[in-house]
Amino acid sequence: MNNNYELYKVFYWAAKMGSLTQAAKVLFLTQPSVSHAIKQLEDSFGLVLFYRNSKGVELTQEGSVLYSYIEQSQIMISLAEEKMTALKNLDNGELRIGGSDSLFKHYVLPYLEEFHERHPAIKLHLNHGTTPEVITFLKEGRIDLGVVRMPIVDSQLEVKESFQLQDCFVAGARYAKLKNSVISLEMLLQYPIILFSRNSRARMTITELFQSYGYTIKPEIEVGSVDLLIEFARRGLGISYVTREFVSKELEDESLFEIRLDVPLPPSHVGIMTMRNMPLTSAASRFIELIR
């Protein structure tokens, strides 16, 4: 038995209103259409669901049993419709974003603040990780979008460039003798180098750059956060490879200075990553509109 949902809907309102005429008004149908729907449902079950009285219609015993189930389903459908409306209007829901600590802190945070002010009912969930980890989060359905360094080559993903960053080497007062010099990659490798963890996109980029010039960059210290890259360089533990925009304060107050090289360091591009051909939630779509 596979009755059309509309038949159950007519049955529900006829039982709830106790009148085929009133049910017709609620459903914007004619009374004959309501009567016909009830007859179809009764025929499908081989049972009488209503009997007429002076006030309209009343459920039979069998009709009461059916109504007890249909009422629950109708309530759940109504709640589902309300939920969908709330999600569409951003009155409910969540926004799940993946990215590195540094990108969250130095780039995404102002947009999150603005988004939260506009849509305070949306819960924010941030998943921290390197670019490879964020890709995994997205494919596993743990986030709605990722903010990552490009390039990303994956047919399952769609990445749209958002903004550009410039990486550089920085040092503190201990290496002040290098402040006004232009040095080669070979000379740079004579000093202790501090790099981010091996799986980061920035680490991959600088490793590939040195290899393109025939050198291998081997860090003396590896750290797991940009804050540590900055602090270690500031304290003179070595020369750190960081994003210039993330150390603007330190460069301005001269607690760090930029090492000038005789070869250019290519800019890095940050993009918004989503699953290709997968619909976005209303919250994710609105955030992407904001961040662009």
| Per-domain residue ranges of the chain | 5-88, 94-151+275-291, 167-266
Fold of domain 94-151+275-291: D-Maltodextrin-Binding Protein; domain 2 (3.40.190)
Q: What is the pLDDT of residues 11-30, one digit of tens each?
A: 999 999 999 999 999 999 99
Q: Which residues lie across from 89 on neighbouring strands? A: none
- Cβ atoms within 10 A of the Cβ of 62, count? 15
Residue 239: count of CB within 10 angstroms of its CB: 25
Specify which residues 34 forms β-bridges with: none
Predicted pLDDT of residue 1: 62
Reply yes or no on whether the pLDDT at 3 is more than 80: no
Q: What percent of the chain has pLDDT over 90?
A: 74
Other C-beta atoms lying within 10 Å of the C-beta of residue 246: 19
Comparing C-alpha atoms, which of 247, 199, 239 is closest to residue 221?
Answer: 239
* CATH code for the domain defined by 5-88: 1.10.10.10
The per-residue pLDDT for range 120-142, each reduced to its tens digit, is 999 999 999 888 899 999 999 99
Q: Side chain identity at 52, as an amino acid letter?
A: R
pLDDT in tens, 154-196: 999 999 988 899 999 999 999 999 998 999 999 999 999 999 8
> If you average pLDDT over residues 70-82, what whole number do you get?
87
Looking at residue 104, its pLDDT comes to: 92
Rounded Cα distance between 281 and 265, Å, is 38
Q: What is the mean pLDDT of the chain?
A: 92
Confirm whether 5-88 and 94-151+275-291 share one CATH topology: no
CA distance 235 to 255: 9
CATH for the stretch 167-266: 3.40.190.10
CB atoms within 10 A of CB 234: 18
**DSSP label at residue 177:** G
Query: In a 3-state reduction of DSSP, which class is residue 278?
Result: coil
Query: What tens digit of pLDDT does each residue of 207-254 get?
Result: 999 999 999 999 999 998 889 999 999 999 999 999 999 999 999 999
10 Å Cβ neighbour count for 181?
9
As a whole number of angstroms, the distance between CA 115 and CA 122 comes to 9
Burial 189-227, CB ≥16 within 10 A → b, else e: bebbbbbbeeebbbbbbbbebbeeeeeebebeeebeebe
Contact of 7 with 74, CB cutoff 8 Å: no
Q: Give the per-residue pLDDT at 135.
A: 93
At 89, the pLDDT band (50, 70, 90 cuts) reads confident
Q: Is the pLDDT of residue 198 over 80?
A: no
Give 129's DSSP letter. -
pLDDT band at 82 (very low <50, low <70, confident <90, very high): confident
Q: Which residue is it, tokens 């603040």?
A: 113
pLDDT of residue 278: 85
What is the torsional sign of CA 13, 16, 21, 26? negative
- φ/ψ of 73, rounded to 5, equals -65, -40
